[in-house]
Structure 1
């Protein structure tokens, strides 16, 4: 079957896998308790965090196929599609899923800040790979959330559940930070490719038709999502990808100005539509205007 299953609320997914619904807006699924289950390709209207203890599954996720191994965390957000097409196969899984509806967050600080958890928009090849210790932390949190959901509802329960969700998200962020650090050598390789990409961009005169290079353009060329690319550059350099690009542009501008090229010509040559936009960026990055920079160069001669 090639049908995409619409998961509009947590009960849709619970009913599909045979899990009991204890709360209309949030559920924790222990796959060991509901297996075997059939695969499903899902269009989510809810948030989901999935990880399996033992799994070797080719999942469709975002724009690619992912070989889902033990210790891998996959996060989905409303509007995303993930899972595997139902081929009639029943599979035994162990692991956990935390699913929650956006309505649970209404009126809470997390409603506004959840967009800051950029890993919801990472591509499939950017999934989190947990250590054994990290895996144990998430399992413990799943068990605590499950216990809270199964308690009799009271006026504080939803607030407590939202706090648990935020705790899970912050641990995922911490684990991603660890992953960025442990892959530092690979990140250095990405920086080299980033620099090379920016050089090629101007040497091939792409700015004439595309304007200044953007984070989106660079991320696409390096086969990354903009969020993951931005987070990787920030963890590796301590600065944003956008600032990294601007510094490259300004250095090119300095080189051209030092060679005697006029300010307007430099601006248009770098892809600025208006020379005043170039002057504004130059002053913001260097603290002086392009004309003042040129005068300083002349004084040194």
Structure 2
């Protein structure tokens, strides 16, 4: 069940299905109930599991389709995400609270973390955490190129608790340390 992220969505983010699709799913659920209520035999478990698998396959189809047909919505979503991140890094929140989290972002957008991450994955190919890390890397690069601040000052200014975490993330994402990056550009 954990591989089906839509089960952890909030109620208002549930699968969007047509009346016909609701009927298909309802019929399958009815078949499971019918099979369960009959006398159990050697085929019962296999038939119940097969119907549940079919329900999950249909749900996956409807789930993936909703992201395809909502591409304009996805673009609006990404503009909102970028605006929230920009505002966060330009405010005192970054100093008071540290780095923004997926939870902060999803709550600000009134969505569950899973739904936000799935929407972002559909729009950008990266989940919310990856997108936020990439956004952070761009901020680090800009700070390295536009200031002469030490890496530790940049780290604290961006909300890192420890400067080593900035260096570790930067190296993992770019293949070089912040100092190496600064030298390579200058």
Same fold (TM over 0.5): yes
Q: 1:176 aligns with which of 63, 66, 74?
A: 63
Calculate the aligned-residue CA RMSD, in Å. Answer: 1.7
Partner residue of 2:103? Answer: 216
Partner residue of 1:271? Answer: 159
Q: 1:126 aligns with which of 13, 17, 21?
A: 13
Deviations 1:22-69 (A, max 9, x none): xxxxxxxxxxxxxxxxxxxxxxxxxxxxxxxxxxxxxxxxxxxxxxxx
Confirm or deny that 1:141 pairs with 2:22: no
| SS of equivalent residue, structure 2 residue 2 | helix
Deviations 1:120-170 (A, max 9, x none): 221222122213453343244234324422442124422432332233123
Partner residue of 1:163? Answer: 50
Relative CO higher for 1 or 2, CA cutoff 8 Å, sep ≥ 6? 2
Deviations 1:235-255 (A, max 9, x none): 111111101000111100000
1:262 offset after TM fit, Å?
1.6
Query: Is the strand fraction higher in 1 or 2?
Result: 1
Q: 1:202 aligns with which of 89, 97, 108?
A: 89
Structure 2: runs of 5 or more not aligned:
none
Structure 1: runs of 5 or more not aligned:
1-113
1:116 offset after TM fit, Å?
2.3
Q: How many Å separate the matches in 1 of 2:15 and 2:21? A: 11
Q: How many Å separate the matches in 2 of 1:287 and 1:163? A: 47
Partner residue of 2:3? Answer: 116
| SS of equivalent residue, structure 2 residue 160 | coil
Number of residue-to-residue matches in the alignment:
185
Confirm or deny that 1:288 pairs with 2:176: yes
Q: How many Å separate the matches in 2 of 1:178 and 1:136? A: 18
TM-score (normalizing by structure 1): 0.58
Q: How many Å separate the matches in 1 of 2:149 and 2:70? A: 42
Q: How many Å separate the matches in 1 of 2:164 and 2:86? A: 24
Q: How many Å separate the matches in 2 of 1:161 and 1:289? A: 55
| Larger-gyration structure (1/2) | 1
1:291 offset after TM fit, Å?
1.3
1:295 offset after TM fit, Å?
1.2
TM-score (normalizing by structure 2): 0.91
Q: How many Å separate the matches in 2 of 1:164 and 1:279? A: 50
Query: Is the helix fraction higher in 1 or 2?
Result: 2
Confirm or deny that 1:227 pairs with 2:132: no
